[in-house]
C-alpha cells in the first residue's frame, strides 16, 4: 500500500471520529486536557485496534460483519445521541452540569461506533495481503489528531452557543449514525 493511499484511508476513517469529537466538544462546558487525552487516546486506540482485529479475523468472518456493522454503528450512535438530547431537554441549565461523554460507557460505545469501519478495512487489507502494523499505526494516530481537532473546534462553537448545545451534539450523533446506515443500505 502506497503512502498517499494509506493517508487517504486514515483520513477517511478519522472523519467519524472528528464529527463525534465535535459533538462532544459542543456538550462540554470546558474541554480540559484530561478530556482531550481520554477522547484522543481511546479513539486512536480503537481506530488502530480494529483494523488489526479485522485483519486477524481475515476473510472468514467478513461476510457476517459486513451484513450488520452499519446497523451496530447506527444503534450505538443513536442511543448515545438520544440520551444526550433527553438529558438536554430535561435538565435545567442552572441546576445541573452537562454530562461528560469522555467517561465511562459513553466513551467506550463512541470509540466502538466510530471504529467499526476500521474493522472492515482490516478485513480488506487481509484480502490484499497487506501487512497491518504500519497502516494500523497511521490510522490510530490520524484518528487521535482528528479527534483532538474536533473537540477543540466543538468547544469553541459550544462557547458561542452556550444554550442547549448538548441537544445539538446529540442530534449530530444521531445524524452520523443515520448517515452510516443509509450509506450501507440504500446507497450500496
pLDDT digits (tens, 9 = 90+) for 87-127: 767 755 544 455 778 888 889 988 998 888 888 788 778 87
Q: Which range (117-126, 140-149, 170-179) has the least confidence?
A: 170-179
Q: List CB contacts of 30: < 8 A, sequence separation 6 or more.
A: 155
Average pLDDT score over residue span 135-158 = 92
Higher-confidence residue of 90 and 144: namely 144
pLDDT of residue 94: 46
Q: What's the confidence (pLDDT) of residue 95? A: 44
Backbone angles phi, psi at 76, to 5 degrees: -60, -50
Instruction: Give residue-wise pLDDT tens across range 125-140.
Output: 887 778 899 999 999 9
Give residue 17's domain range.
Answer: 3-185
Q: What is the pLDDT of residues 47-89, one digit of tens each?
A: 999 999 988 887 566 566 667 777 877 777 677 778 767 776 7
65's grid cell: 460483519
Q: How confident is the model at residue 36 (pLDDT cuts 50, 70, 90)?
A: very high
Q: What is the pLDDT of residue 148?
A: 96
Q: What is the mean pLDDT of the chain?
A: 81
Q: Which residues contact 41 (CB under 8 A, 6 or more apart)?
A: 144
| Nearest alpha carbon to residue 150 among 36, 74, 29, 73 | 36
pLDDT reported for residue 37: 95
Number of separate domains in the chain: 1
Q: Which long-range contacts (CB under 8 A, 24 or more apart) does 91-96 make?
A: 93/163
pLDDT score recorded for residue 16: 83
pLDDT at 137: 97
pLDDT at 19 over 50: yes
3-state secondary structure at position 163: coil
Amino acid at each position: 500500500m502506497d503512502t498517499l493511499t494509506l493517508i487517504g484511508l486514515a483520513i477517511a476513517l478519522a472523519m467519524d471520529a472528528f464529527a463525534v469529537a465535535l459533538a462532544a466538544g459542543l456538550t462540554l462546558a470546558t474541554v480540559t486536557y484530561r478530556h482531550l487525552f481520554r477522547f484522543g487516546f481511546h479513539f486512536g486506540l480503537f481506530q488502530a485496534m480494529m483494523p488489526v482485529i479485522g485483519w486477524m479475523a481475515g476473510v472468514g468472518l467478513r461476510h457476517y460483519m459486513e451484513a450488520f456493522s452499519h446497523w451496530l454503528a447506527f444503534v450505538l450512535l443513536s442511543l448515545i445521541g438520544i440520551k444526550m438530547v433527553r438529558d438536554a431537554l430535561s435538565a435545567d441549565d442552572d441546576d445541573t452540569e452537562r454530562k461528560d461523554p469522555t467517561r465511562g460507557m459513553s466513551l467506550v460505545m463512541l470509540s466502538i461506533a466510530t471504529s467499526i469501519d476500521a474493522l472492515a478495512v482490516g478485513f480488506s487489507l487481509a484480502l490484499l495481503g497487506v501487512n497491518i502494523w504500519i497502516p494500523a499505526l497511521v490510522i490510530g494516530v490520524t484518528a487521535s489528531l482528528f479527534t483532538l481537532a474536533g473537540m477543540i473546534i466543538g468547544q469553541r462553537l459550544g462557547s458561542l452557543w452556550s444554550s442547549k448545545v448538548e441537544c445539538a451534539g446529540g442530534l449530530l450523533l444521531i445524524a452520523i449514525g443515520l448517515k452510516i446506515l443509509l450509506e450501507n443500505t440504500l446507497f450500496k
